[in-house]
Homo-oligomer: A and B are copies of this chain.
Amino acid sequence: MSMTVHDTELRDGLVVTDPRAPAPDPEGVVGEAINAIRFLAIDAVEKAGSGHPGTPMGLAPLAYRLYTRYLRHDPADPAWIDRDRFVLSGGHACMLQYAALHLAGYDLTTADLEQFRQWGSRTPGHPERDATPGIEINTGPLGQGFANAVGMAIAERMLAARFNRPGHSIVDHRTWAIAGEGDMMEGISSEAASLAGRLGLGLGKLTVFFDANHISLEGAADVEFKENVADRFDAYGWHVTTVHSVNDLDALDVAVDEAVRDERPSLVIVHSNIGYGSPVQDTAKAHGAPLGEANVAATRQKLGWPYPPFTIPDAVYAHWSSLVDARAGHHAEWDERFGRYQGAEPALAAELTRVMAGRLPDDWERAPLPAFAAGSKEATRKSAGLVLNAYAETVPELVGGSADVAPSTETQLVKYGDVNTGDWAGRNLHFGVREHAMGALCNGMAAHGGFRPYCATFFSFYDYMREDVRLAALMQLPVVFVFTHDSIALGEDGPTHQPVEHLAGMRAMPGLRTIRPADANESMLAWRAAIAHDGPTCLVLSRQGLPVIDPAALSVAAGASVVAPGDDAAIVATGSEVSLALAARELLAGEGIGARVVSMPCWELFRAQSTVERDAVLPPAMPTLAVEAAAPTGWHEFADDVVGLTRFGASAPGPVVYEKLGFTPENVADHVRRLVR
Interface residues of A (CB under 8 A from B): 48-51, 91-92, 117-121, 124-126, 128, 138-143, 181-183, 185-191, 194-195, 197-198, 200, 216-218, 223-232, 234-237, 402, 404-408, 418, 420, 430-437, 460-461, 463-464, 466-467, 470-471, 473-474, 491-497, 500-502, 504-511, 631, 633-634, 636-637, 645-648, 650-653, 656-657, 660
Contact = CB atoms under 8 A, between A and B. Distances in A.
A508 B631 contact: yes
A429 to B, nearest CB: 10
Nearest to A660: B119
B494 A125 contact: yes
Which of A143, A229, A466, A491 has the most CB atoms of chain B within a 10 A radius of its CB? A466
Given A197-B227, A235-B228, A634-B633, A436 B187 contact: yes
Contacts of A124: 494, 650-651
Contacts of A181: 433
Contact of A430 (B51, B190, B223, B234): B223
Contact of A50 (B128, B408, B492, B505): B492
Contacts of A634: 504, 508, 633-634, 636
Contacts of A231: 231-232, 234-235
Contact of A140 (B418, B473, B497, B637): B497
A218 to B, nearest CB: 5
A223 B496 contact: no
Given A119-B656, A497-B140, A647-B510, A125 B631 contact: no
A502 to B, nearest CB: 8
A117 B185 contact: no
B141 A463 contact: yes
A124 B631 CA distance: 22
A674 to B, nearest CB: 16
A186 B185 contact: no
Given A493-B140, A495-B474, A652-B117, A224 B126 contact: no
A408 B463 contact: no
A646 B510 CA distance: 6
Contacts of A235: 227-232, 234-235
A462 to B, nearest CB: 8
